[in-house]
Structure 1
Amino acid sequence: MRCFQLSAMIRPYLEDRFDIDLLEMPDGNSPFKQVLWARRQAPSTIFVFSKAAINKLFASTVWWLRQRGSLICFDQVDNDHGSTSRLYADIQFCSSYAQLEKLRHHKRQNPRYKGEPMLLLHSYDLRLENFTPRKLDHARMVYFGDPRNAKLEAGIEKTMDVIEISESDEMQAVLPRLAGYNLHYCIRNQDIAAPLSSKPFTKGFTAAACGANVIAHRRTEDVEEFLGSDYPFLVDGDTPDEVFSMIERAKHSYGDADWLRAQSIMQSVKTRVSPKALAQQMSTALKEFGIG
């Protein structure tokens, strides 16, 4: 989904300088077919491989593309960047600031690691670009996503509505329901991530596109980067009581100074991951290589 939406997001801002297309690469069962595909590609092309494509990419395919003067970029999103050490990339796109720092540190410690870490943030679903929230006179909270990924034990789920969605093609059907909420619950279960993997703050970006505030955990990667350390609805601890307390506080703050300050912060979050911002990040990365 990332590759389809990313191309659509950046195209209006970069199409005066680049032809932007989506290509289907042969699967990972046949090195011969991939190499044949690579030899047929136009020379001096910028290839941005999605995480699904990277998983089936052969080193020989990359070699042929580079022989033809092409720039190789990996867009791993939340995959482990360490898994691509066998492949040569010019750019390793990072979909979060946390991932960017991890990769820069890894590259300093491992100079032979291939690819310059560059920022290309994740964003909200493009179908939310012109989203219009419903006007409400009180706080209404929702968890939007796969409930298995959220901290919802001990009755926490009873304080909110849950809109369950696990596949991107389900988004269109639930868009009208999202308009009825102005507070999104974004506290995840804490995963044990791979050393060079980070999850972008996608739940926060979705809320920002919906014009909603968020309740999030301070330790979640990129939360303080986007929201700031003084965002009013950050949970510090791990107990259900602390979560309940913040939910109560956020709901009762509707319309007051904290609520309005949070709204202003969320508006800035949307701007930072907007299509225009992502196009600028792509442009900045390519200019580092003398392109564009």
Structure 2
Amino acid sequence: MAEVAVYFVRLFGDENTGSTQMRGHDLFELVEPYMGPNLSARQIVMPTAKHRIAQRIWARVVPRDAIYFLTKRALERIDPEAAHILKSRARAVCFDYVDGDLQRIRSEFADIHVCTSYAQEKAIIRLQLEGQFAPGPTCVILHNASADLTNMKSKPASSFSTAYVGTIAMTEIPEVLQSEVQIIDASSTKDFKKSLNRLSQFSLHYCFRRSKEKSDGIIKPFTKGVTAAMCSSNVITSRKVWDAEALLGSDYPYLTNDNSEEEILQAFEMARSSFGTKTWQDALHAVGQIKELTSGPALAQAFKDMSRIAGVA
């Protein structure tokens, strides 16, 4: 069979957006060496939403019979007519929803629905059964870490310390723990890269979202767990965090039942008191499985699975 190209489609001028950087550039770098003899990973830029005619022309001239993997901003801003033209020329159009609102996205333009979490796949299938989402096969391609973080050589920290890696407005830290949890700003790609060399200093990552930060249509991938895995760190998080239990296992020792202060404090103290013990090491092994699942070879295999849905043997 002739080689089939998988084009990572990003919006023109959008290279600094987090989702585009992570899924349009870093994911490409991670999987490109492992795509195998039948597939080749390539990159392509789509005109912005301000230039709809240019988008339609672009769709008419892109290579035929290729697979088009549209990153979040590209799928949100593609012109409907351009999308129809692209579908008519492509082997498959794949929408990478990431954390987009499933109740608002024009999912009917996708041939394959790409999910960055198992929870998102379940949500899409449920919405399809309810007639609220376009039909079509789903495929899980778990959310990756940044290429820089994936390539970082890390080993478990030698002492107990905790970090929250993210935007402070998106979490809740009990007052009694605020002096214990170091904030590592990841509100922008630039800020995050500045902090890369600090991440391996922390043995525990604090992974709680604000209780009110939830929508029926928005399913967020467990990226904080992926970050912790790349740093050889354990995590403290809730079973209610999407994919936390699925990726860590139901018996992971530092899972809380909810975001209550009592649960968080209890789990934090358990983590502190068990540092260095067999319980801690077993937990590190569980987190390490996430690193394997989001490695370049594993993610490339997910692309091969997606491509088989599109008829690539």
TM-score (norm 2): 0.87
Greater shift in the superposed pair: 233-242 or 108-117: 108-117
Change in CA separation of 1:270 and 1:134 when aligned onto 2, cut-off 3 Å: closer
Separation of aligned partners in 1, 2:34 and 2:156: 32
Structure 2, unmatched stretches of 5+, are 1-20
Runs of 4+ in 1 over 4 A off after TM superposition: none
The aligned runs of 1:1-292 (5 Å cut-off) are 1=21, 2-14=23-35, 16-85=37-106, 87-110=108-131, 113-133=134-154, 136-292=157-313
Deviation by residue 1:166-200 (Cα, 9 ceiling, x = unmatched): 11222332111112111111111134534332100
- Structure 1's unaligned 5+ residue stretches are none
Question: Do the aligned residues in 2 keep the contact of 1:143 with 1:185 (CA within 8 Å)?
Answer: yes
| Matched residue SS, 2:191 | helix
Give secondary structure in 1 for the equivalent of 2:302: helix
CA distance in structure 2 between the aligned counterparts of 1:218 and 1:86, rounded to whole angstroms = 29
30 and 153 in structure 1: CA distance in 2 versus 1, 3 angstrom threshold? same
Q: Give TM-score, length-normalised by structure 1.
A: 0.93
Change (3 A) 1:88 1:238: closer
Residues in 2 aligned to 1:217 and 1:113: alpha-carbon distance in whole angstroms: 31
- Give secondary structure in 2 for the equivalent of 1:245: helix
Taking only aligned residues, the RMSD between alpha carbons, in angstroms, comes to 1.9
CA deviation profile, 1:131-181 (whole Å, cap 9, x unmatched): 233664421111111111111142332222111221122233211111211
The 2-side partners of 1:39 and 1:237 are apart by 50
Q: Deviations over 1:220-265 (max 9, x none)?
A: 1111101111101111243323312221220111111210110110
CA contact 2:185–2:192 (8 Å) conserved in 1: no
User: Alignment partner of 2:45: what SS?
Assistant: coil
How many residues are matched? 292
Amino acid at match of 1:151: E
Distance across 2 between alignment mates of 1:143 and 1:112 = 35
Which digits, 9 at most, give the CA deviation of each residue in 1:36-80, with x for residues without a partner? 111111111211111111121111111112222441110010002
What's the % identity of the aligned pairs?
28
In 1: Cα distance, 2:219 partner to 2:107 partner: 20
- In 2, Cα distance between the equivalents of 1:259 and 1:55? 42
* Distance across 2 between alignment mates of 1:104 and 1:126: 30
**Residues 67 and 150 (structure 1 numbering): CA distance in 2 closer, same or farther, change over 3 Å?**
same
Task: Give the superposition deviation at 1:32.
Answer: 1.2
Q: Is the 8 A contact 2:67 2:90 kept in 1?
A: no
Instruction: Please state which structure has a larger fraction of its residues in strand.
Output: 2
Do 2:68 and 2:90's aligned partners in 1 also have CA atoms closer than 8 Å? no
**Structure 1 residue 30, shift from structure 2 partner:** 2.7
Structure 2 CA distance for aligned equivalents of residues 76 and 82 of structure 1: 11
SS of residue in 2 equivalent to 1:231? coil
CA deviation profile, 1:6-36 (whole Å, cap 9, x unmatched)? 1111111115323322211111123211111
Q: Which moves more between the two structures, 201-210 or 140-149?
A: 140-149
